[in-house]
Amino acid sequence: MASLKLILLFGIILTLTRLKIKIGFSIAIGSVIAGLMFSMSIGQLADSVWQGFSARETWELFVILMAVTLIGSLLKESGLASGLTGAVESLLHSKRASMAILPALIGLLPMPGGALLSAPLVDESSFRTNIPNRRLAAINYWFRHVLEYIWPLYPGIILSASILEIDASEIVRAQWPMSVGMILGGIAFLLIPLGKLVSKTSNSVLHNGKAVFMALWPIFLAVVLSLFCGVDLYISVPVSLLLFLIVSRFSSAVIKESLKQSVTLEYTSFVFAVMIFKQVLIDSNAALQVAGEITAAGIDPIWVIIFLPFVIGLISGATPAFVSLAYPALLPFLRPDDVDLLRAATAYTAGFLGVLLSPLHFCLVLTASYFKTRLSRVYVYLIAPLAVMVLGLVLKALF
């Protein structure tokens, strides 16, 4: 029964978005419906809403997202994004390749909504092409996440290694086939159909290197501050933004237009709506109820290993959420004696599949919003690459 409720709930949210209701308001409505569906009292629901809204995590996320959005807008409005894309195209001699490389580079910085940083770059790479916005959104979203299985800075890998009590390098060795699957699937189904799209831009390596540095140094500064100095992202990203503004000396017109594009009701409402929705689902025990139904039905543990992370990933739209919630519950299956890395990789793949499909995933929603397309249109382009990603797991299991 809980499983059907969950399916119905996501169906309602997606239907609301198709009716042109902003995603933040759709999720907010979904939060109320979820509370009522899973038998929360009005008082309990109100308390969950307040907890989700006032949580420190929510406000940290808000700060990160606003800073990320503003950096992306400044890159676009100042022309630095154009210089970066031109430089990468010149180095690679391909618009098509630059549309994949740029989001992957941004993906080295693990932060919520990071795809919004790469969206202007992909947009710039597609200049003077007739690529539909829905495909551009899919390309940006997909290649932004191709390294999430193997880049050791991602919270999901750090958390899973900690919970399973193994080194992160073991997680990476177990999960690299899925990352390769994502890259190959993206190339085969998102890029190759575009044709060659050869770039005619030609500059010196030094000129191109300078253009790349001038656009990306704020992003890598945030990484260095976070990785080597132990500074939290909600501090390191705004600090990078502030230094970016000081060093670059943007005109008031650029700053004004960037603020107009980045600080919007749609983005801000989405942050708070997602965190409230997540809190409501946690407090209502929705995911645990679904898992309990599966266990009670006497289903093989492998299906629990697949289904529980997938459901939590779908519910939360965040990798740390499915790892932190599902892995502790799955420990008897993941490490009965020693760690079963294949089962662990299966759990991670299932959870990440849910995250990539989740209508609550910041990158998905913000990318679709940036390119002014509906989520349903982006999903169409993701089906085949997702199948190749899962095929990576299947081949790992077989060989």
What does the H/E/C string look like for 166-184?
CCHHHHHHHHHHHHHHHHH
| C-alpha to C-alpha distance for 144 and 283, rounded to whole angstroms | 31
| C-alpha to C-alpha distance for 380 and 16, rounded to whole angstroms | 19
Closest CA to 365 of 131, 114, 23, 28: 23
Q: Match 């880049």 to its residue by tokens.
A: 151
| C-alpha to C-alpha distance for 84 and 396, rounded to whole angstroms | 37
Mind listing the pLDDT tens digit of every residue in the chain (399 residues)?
777 887 788 778 778 877 878 778 888 898 999 899 988 999 999 999 999 899 888 888 788 878 877 887 787 788 787 777 778 777 877 888 889 998 998 887 666 677 887 888 888 888 778 899 999 999 999 999 999 998 877 888 888 888 888 888 899 899 999 999 999 999 999 999 988 766 666 667 787 788 788 878 887 888 788 768 878 878 988 999 999 999 888 888 889 888 887 777 777 787 788 788 878 888 888 767 776 777 787 778 898 899 889 988 888 788 887 887 788 778 878 886 788 999 999 999 999 999 999 988 989 988 998 999 999 999 999 999 999 999 999 999 998
Q: Match 């098509």 to its residue by tokens.
A: 96
- Amino acid letter, 355: V
How many independent structural domains does the chain possess?
A: 1
Closest CA to 188 of 301, 122, 96: 96
Confidence (pLDDT) at 110: 66
Decide if 313 contacts 305 (C-beta within 8 A): no
- Amino acid letter, 323: V
Q: Match 């599966």 to its residue by tokens.
A: 294
Confidence (pLDDT) at 199: 60
| C-alpha to C-alpha distance for 53 and 279, rounded to whole angstroms | 9
Confidence (pLDDT) at 112: 66
How many C-beta atoms lie closer than 10 Å to residue 11's C-beta?
Answer: 10
How many C-beta atoms lie closer than 10 Å to residue 221's C-beta?
Answer: 18
Confidence (pLDDT) at 80: 80
Count, in order, helices (H) and strands (E) of the chain. 20, 0
| C-alpha to C-alpha distance for 215 and 252, rounded to whole angstroms | 19
- Amino acid letter, 194: L
3-state secondary structure of 202: coil
| C-alpha to C-alpha distance for 222 and 109, rounded to whole angstroms | 8
Q: Which domain holds residue 45?
A: 2-398
Confidence (pLDDT) at 203: 66
Confidence (pLDDT) at 146: 96
What is the DSSP annotation of 295-344? HHTT--HHHHHHHHHHHHHHHH--HHHHHHHHHHHHHHHH-SSS--HHHH
Report in angstroms the alpha-carbon separations of 54 from 163, 222, 279. 28, 25, 11
- For 234, residues 6+ apart whose C-beta sits below 8 A from its C-beta are 60, 61, 63, 64
Confidence (pLDDT) at 379: 95
| C-alpha to C-alpha distance for 333 and 41, rounded to whole angstroms | 35
Helix 375-398, helix 362-370: angle, nearest 10: 140
